[in-house]
């Protein structure tokens, strides 16, 4: 296996004993050390799932594991490294796969380089191609599985200014979601996308600071959402729990929008 070794063992089905909406299910979350992935890993563990939280940020994973009070396992995983992905996902055999890793490129088409396009599509789309490829065989064998891909309202759903590469990559995530959903629906596997509006997260803070006028940029982001506020990672995590649970068993191939009214 390339890259860093798994720092904790993958979770077992009986890791959690309390009854929750995800009891008896194994979940693998990518980009779980911060933001939406972190909140989702915690929420899934709280609902009884045996969670394997993965990220490139080893310190962030250690903090997460401490906050979860031993209720989840973690592993360092760079989703851009195919061999690493195949090995970690194959070992974890998740019933729920939450693909959260993603990167926001700022700019119009004329601002983007080929390298930036490649980087964004590798992290935002090809990573999901690989994690799903690794998770599907086990799901097919078990006759069930829920794959959840984090896309964005900035995608095929809405053109958002200065998000050309990002929006194109997230539109691809929605296309990938629908394709997997239709191809494996008879195998008992569901695949859905979560499409957030602007959510308070560490990378959002970085983007706001990068504008050079933090307060003005923050006001501008808030103004895009008719509810008059940013979303929280926990609000996205609630949807991730629902999509991972059997409560959503009749839903597949959909792009679920949670955006404070941005798309209205």
Per CB under 6 A, residues contacting ligand NAD are: 30-31, 33-37, 55-57, 60, 77-80, 100-102, 104, 123, 150, 152, 196, 198-199, 201-204, 233
Angle formed by the axes of helices 214-223 and 202-210, nearest 10°: 120
- Supply the minimum distance, in Å, between the C-beta of residue 36 and ligand NAD: 3
Residue nearest to ligand NAD (CB): 102
- Supply the minimum distance, in Å, between the C-beta of residue 90 and ligand NAD: 17
**Between 222 and 251, CB nearer to ligand NAD:** 222
**Between 71 and 236, CB nearer to ligand NAD:** 236
| Three-state secondary-structure class, residue 208 | helix
**Using an 8 Å Cβ cutoff, are 21 and 245 in contact?**
yes
Concatenated DSSP letters of 45-84: HHTT-EEEEEES-HHHHHHHHHHTTTSEEEEE--TT-HHH
**Between 48 and 237, CB nearer to ligand NAD:** 237
Place of tokens 């394997």: 52
**Using an 8 Å Cβ cutoff, are 136 and 189 in contact?**
yes
- Supply the minimum distance, in Å, between the C-beta of residue 68 and ligand NAD: 15
Catalytic center residues: 166
- Supply the minimum distance, in Å, between the C-beta of residue 41 and ligand NAD: 11
């Amino acid at each position: 296996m390339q890259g860093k070794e798994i720092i904790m063992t993958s979770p077992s089905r009986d890791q959690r004993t309390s009854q929750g909406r995800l009891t008896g299910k194994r979940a693998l979350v990518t980009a779980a050390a911060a933001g939406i992935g972190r909140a989702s890993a915690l929420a899934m563990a709280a609902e009884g799932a045996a969670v394997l939280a993965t990220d490139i940020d080893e310190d962030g994973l250690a903090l997460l594991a401490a906050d979860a009070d031993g209720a989840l396992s973690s592993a360092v995983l760079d989703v851009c490294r195919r061999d690493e992905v195949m090995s970690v996902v194959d070992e974890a055999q998740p019933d729920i796969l939450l693909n959260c890793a993603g990167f926001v490129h700022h700019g119009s088409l004329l601002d983007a380089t080929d390298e930036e396009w490649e980087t964004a599509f590798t992290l935002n789309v090809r990573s999901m191609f690989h994690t799903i490829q690794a998770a599907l065989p086990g799901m097919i064998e078990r006759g069930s599985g829920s794959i959840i891909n984090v896309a964005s309202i900035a995608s095929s759903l809405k053109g958002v200014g200065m998000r050309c590469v990002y929006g194109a990559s997230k539109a691809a995530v929605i296309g990938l979601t629908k394709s997997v959903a239709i191809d494996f629906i008879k195998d008992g596997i569901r695949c859905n996308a979560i499409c957030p509006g602007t959510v308070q997260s560490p990378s959002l803070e970085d983007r706001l600071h990068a504008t050079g006028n933090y307060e003005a940029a923050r006001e501008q982001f808030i103004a895009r959402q008719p509810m008059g506020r940013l979303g929280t990672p926990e609000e996205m995590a609630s949807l991730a729990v629902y999509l991972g649970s059997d409560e959503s068993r009749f839903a597949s191939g959909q792009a679920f929008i949670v955006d404070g009214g941005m798309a209205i």
